[in-house]
């Protein structure tokens, strides 16, 4: 509807924006009914940085031990991590003793965890944090420690008795797809029966993809988040592979994500060794767009102020944690530039522009405002704020405007578009 001078009527345009909000607010698939992970889980997970180092004699500061987790808990409390939302301190594989105890219960390695998991949980809770732990649906964990097959109920109760708040449940050493699926379901129900609030992090679809396409509607009914693709490495190639897989499969996975259940592209490796500064910006920006769990895997005792500031950026975290809970998606790819966008609450949008060209210098990219947010991000106008790589107000834009952005090689510019 246009007036004679060609200017669209504001009332009509605002009605379109309201319609967009209504459409985006429809709930997705039914979520696991435990009331948890209503926004993506945030915290720290040991695997990518510390892996399965059990040699505390030679490497006491980097082996998987209660000392490591207590030091991380102390820093999460004192260095501002908890204050911006990083709440879960998560143990991955290699915490266990080689065998169960006489009653069939899992037990921590007594030398590396002399206080036991319950003692560590008490310490973590005293810092205002929550403790995550690791187990496996199969006969053994990926590193060869005791698996939970045949012990789902006793393991769930053991974790609850210890005061655990999150379970990462891996899928190694499972002898059939039937056992894998039934095991993930069984453990979900067993955790709920304990009466303790325990976030349930699954790798169910990751292990199903080689054999058949996962039923994400079903997975969401049992899991709070789920891994789909390979483990992240401390490399740009790894980050690119994860983004490529996600965008290639976005029609299948995006609509199922939302409050209570999230796609998990794996850990943040910001603050380590393999990514340039621009590549770290790209990971932070795209994990926010993807509504991904923000589980850092780094050494908080030795992290640069720049990496710390990026990981603690409240504006970017606010996009990740946006209560509308809609996962973003890749809008377009042309000439090694990708544009991703995500709808936010209050009719706002987040937009990320990624420069995948690995030769030359910064590139300019121009995009029409009308093409963003399914045509509704800036009706009839909006304020655009750049959040990354540095925060600055870009100003007032109309629906008919073009936006010109400069992006570093392998870097990303993250924007927030909000009503004027």
Give the pLDDT confidence score for residue 31 in this predicted structure. 80
Query: Measured on CA atoms in the order 372, 375, 381, 382, is the torsion positive or negative?
Result: negative
Give the pLDDT confidence score for residue 17 in this predicted structure. 52
The HSE-up count of residue 195 (CA atoms within 13 Å, CB side) is 1
Give the pLDDT confidence score for residue 420 in this predicted structure. 80
Give the pLDDT confidence score for residue 28 in this predicted structure. 55
Q: Encode the chain (420 residues) as per-residue pLDDT tens digits.
A: 333 333 344 454 444 455 445 445 444 567 888 999 999 999 999 999 999 999 999 999 999 999 999 999 999 999 999 999 999 999 999 999 999 999 999 999 999 999 999 999 999 999 999 999 999 999 999 999 999 999 999 999 999 999 999 999 999 999 999 999 999 999 999 999 999 999 999 999 999 999 999 999 999 999 999 999 999 999 999 999 999 999 999 999 999 999 999 999 999 999 999 999 999 999 999 999 999 999 999 999 999 999 999 999 999 999 999 999 999 999 999 999 999 999 999 999 999 999 999 999 999 999 999 999 999 999 999 999 999 999 999 999 999 999 999 999 999 999 999 988
Radius of gyration of the chain (CA): 22
Q: Which of 231, 244, 255, 315 is catalytic?
A: 231
Is this model's pTM higher than 0.85 or not?
yes
User: For residue 174, which of 154, 193, 152, 196 has the smallest C-alpha distance?
Assistant: 152
Place of tokens 């319609």: 19
Give the DSSP H or E segment for 39: none
Return d(Cα 419, Cα 25) in angstroms, integer.
Answer: 18
Place of tokens 């609850």: 160
Contacts of 190 by beta carbon, 8 Å cutoff, 6+ apart? 152, 153, 155, 156, 157
Give the pLDDT confidence score for residue 29 in this predicted structure. 67
Give the DSSP H or E segment for 131: strand 130-136
Return d(Cα 120, Cα 100) in angstroms, integer.
Answer: 19
Determine contact, residues 43/90, Cβ cutoff 8 Å.
yes
Give the pLDDT confidence score for residue 30 in this predicted structure. 78
User: For residue 378, which of 367, 387, 388, 389 has the smallest C-alpha distance?
Assistant: 367
Return d(Cα 148, Cα 127) in angstroms, integer.
Answer: 30
Give the pLDDT confidence score for residue 13 in this predicted structure. 47
User: For residue 27, which of 271, 288, 323, 244 has the smallest C-alpha distance?
Assistant: 323
- Which neighbouring-strand residues pair with 405? 365
- Which neighbouring-strand residues pair with 88? 43, 130
Give the pLDDT confidence score for residue 192 in this predicted structure. 97
Q: Which of 109, 136, 170, 264 is catalytic?
A: 170
Return d(Cα 343, Cα 24) in angstroms, integer.
Answer: 8
β-strand pairing of 412-419 with 381-388: antiparallel
Left (φ > 0), alpha (ψ -120 to 50) or beta: where does 260 sit? left
Determine contact, residues 158/190, Cβ cutoff 8 Å.
no
Return d(Cα 138, Cα 108) in angstroms, integer.
Answer: 18
Token reading at 152:
């789902």
Contacts of 246 by beta carbon, 8 Å cutoff, 6+ apart? 228, 229, 253, 263, 265, 290, 330
Query: Measured on CA atoms in the order 53, 225, 319, 132, is the torsion positive or negative?
Result: negative
Reply yes or no on whether 170 is catalytic: yes
Place of tokens 């770290």: 280
Query: Measured on CA atoms in the order 172, 174, 176, 178, is the torsion positive or negative?
Result: negative
- Which neighbouring-strand residues pair with 211? none
């Amino acid at each position: 509807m246009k007036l004679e001078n060609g200017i669209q009527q504001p009332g009509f345009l605002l009605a379109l924006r309201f319609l967009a909000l209504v459409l985006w607010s429809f709930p997705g698939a039914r979520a696991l009914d435990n009331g948890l992970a209503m926004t993506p889980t945030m915290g720290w997970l040991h695997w990518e940085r510390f892996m399965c180092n059990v040699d505390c004699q030679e490497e006491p500061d980097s082996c998987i031990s209660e000392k490591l987790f207590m030091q991380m808990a102390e820093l999460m409390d004192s260095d501002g991590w908890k204050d911006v939302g990083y709440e879960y301190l998560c143990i991955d594989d290699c915490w266990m003793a080689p065998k169960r105890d006489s009653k069939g219960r899992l037990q921590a390695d007594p030398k590396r965890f002399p206080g036991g998991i319950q003692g560590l949980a008490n310490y973590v809770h005293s810092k205002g944090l929550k403790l995550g732990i690791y187990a496996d649906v199969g006969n053994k964990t990926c590193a060869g420690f005791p698996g939970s097959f045949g012990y789902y109920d006793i393991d769930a109760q053991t974790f609850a008795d210890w005061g655990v708040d999150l379970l990462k449940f891996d899928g190694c050493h499972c002898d059939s797809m039937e056992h894998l699926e039934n095991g993930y379901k069984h453990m979900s129900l067993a955790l709920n029966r304990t009466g303790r609030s325990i976030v349930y992090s699954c790798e169910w679809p990751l292990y199903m993809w080689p054999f058949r396409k996962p039923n994400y509607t079903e997975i969401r009914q049992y899991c709070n988040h789920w891994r789909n693709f390979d483990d992240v490495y401390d490399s740009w190639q790894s980050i690119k592979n994860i983004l490529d897989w996600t965008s290639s499969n976005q029609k299948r996975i995006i609509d199922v994500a939302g409050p209570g259940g999230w796609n998990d592209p794996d850990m943040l490796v910001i603050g380590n060794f393999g990514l340039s500064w621009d590549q770290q910006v790209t990971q932070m920006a795209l994990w926010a767009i993807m509504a991904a769990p923000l589980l850092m895997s780094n050494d908080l005792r030795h992290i640069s102020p720049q990496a710390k500031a990026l990981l603690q950026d409240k504006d970017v975290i606010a996009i990740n944690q946006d209560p509308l809970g809609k996962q973003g998606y890749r809008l377009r790819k042309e000439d090694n530039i990708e544009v991703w966008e995500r709808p936010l609450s209050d009719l706002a949008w987040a937009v990320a522009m990624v420069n995948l060209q690995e030769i030359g210098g910064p590139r300019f990219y121009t995009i029409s405002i009308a093409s963003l947010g399914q045509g509704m991000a800036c009706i009839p106008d909006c304020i655009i704020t750049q959040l990354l790589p540095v925060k600055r107000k870009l100003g007032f834009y109309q629906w008919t405007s073009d936006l010109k952005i400069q992006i570093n090689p392998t870097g990303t510019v993250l924007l927030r578009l909000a009503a004027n």
